[in-house]
Amino acid sequence: MHFEFLVEEFSAKECLEQLLTKILSQTITYKIHNFRGKSDLIKKLPMRLKGYKDWIPDDYRIIILVDRDNEDCQILKDKLEDIAKQTGLITKSMSQDKKTFQVLNKIAIEELEAWFFGDVNAIVSAYSKVSPNLGNQAKYRKPDEITGGTWEALEKVLQKAGYHKGGLEKVKAAREISKFMTPQNNCSTSFQVFYKGILEMIK
């Protein structure tokens, strides 16, 4: 089996590079393609999927990962589903048996950084001056419900501890935190939906 991941930016690619080694066996191959932001990914997605449609083998799966940001989750999901449908590819949501499909659409809520807050131990392991009690604070108990932007929240937490003083370096933070993440223990609901979606495909 082979997975093709389409993600909106390089920080997401860096995160997945670390995480997938903890999730996938060595018998499964994968490639991660990053775009220049969410709008760039969605703009190029129809042509990209049409390209896959012409040659994709039966054992290939295409996983599309985007941030919800401030969009309505269902509207965003429907947009991704419609693009796949128009190219003639079957998504998991369309599949009657949930096993015969080529495309899996997943949304990080509200941003990739919520997944980092879902594993406070990983943040502390990467940045030892951050308080290990961070996850007990009301604001961070439910990572997908952090208001005001999760990357801004992460920047504030790290700067308070003396890191990323010139502004959050998203790629660097993604690489350093994801290295310590434990997928099965992550408390971000959107991460668990993504994680379980991958596990279901490799059973």
Q: What secondary structure letter does DSSP report for 1?
A: -
The amino acid sitting at 7 is: V
Q: Given the structure tokens 């997605």, which residue do they identify? A: 45
The amino acid sitting at 35 is: F
pLDDT tens-digit map of 23-44? 999 899 999 999 999 999 999 9
Whether 51 and 70 share a structural domain: yes
pLDDT score, position 98: 82
pLDDT tens-digit map of 109-144? 999 999 999 999 999 999 999 999 999 999 999 999
Whether 64 and 105 share a structural domain: yes
Whether 62 and 150 share a structural domain: no
Angstrom distance (rounded) from CA 134 to CA 97? 41
Neighbouring-strand partners of residue 3: 30, 61
Whether 100 and 46 share a structural domain: yes
Whether the model clears a pTM of 0.85, i.e. scores above it, the answer is yes
Closest CA to 179 of 129, 130, 119, 133: 119
Whether 166 and 90 share a structural domain: no
pLDDT score, position 28: 95
Whether 154 and 130 share a structural domain: yes
pLDDT-above-90 percentage for the chain: 95
Whether 135 and 42 share a structural domain: no
Asked whether residue 203 carries a pLDDT value surpassing 90, the answer given is no
pLDDT score, position 96: 87
Rounded mean pLDDT, 156-171 = 97
Neighbouring-strand partners of residue 91: 103
Cis peptide before 113, with omega less than 30 degrees from 0?
Answer: no
pLDDT score, position 130: 98
pLDDT tens-digit map of 85-109? 999 999 999 998 888 999 999 999 9
Q: How far apart are the first and last CA of the chain?
A: 11
CATH assignment at residue 33: 3.40.50
pLDDT score, position 147: 87
Rounded mean pLDDT, 45-72 = 96
pLDDT tens-digit map of 164-194? 999 999 999 999 999 999 999 999 999 999 9
Which range marks the domain in which residue 148 is found?
Answer: 113-183
Count: domains in the chain: 2
Per the model's pLDDT, the better-predicted residue between 99 and 81 turns out to be 81
Whether 64 and 136 share a structural domain: no
Q: Given the structure tokens 């079957």, which residue do they identify? A: 90
Mean pLDDT value across the chain: 96
CA-to-CA separations, 77 to 57, 72, 117, 168, 178, in angstroms, rounded: 25, 9, 23, 28, 25
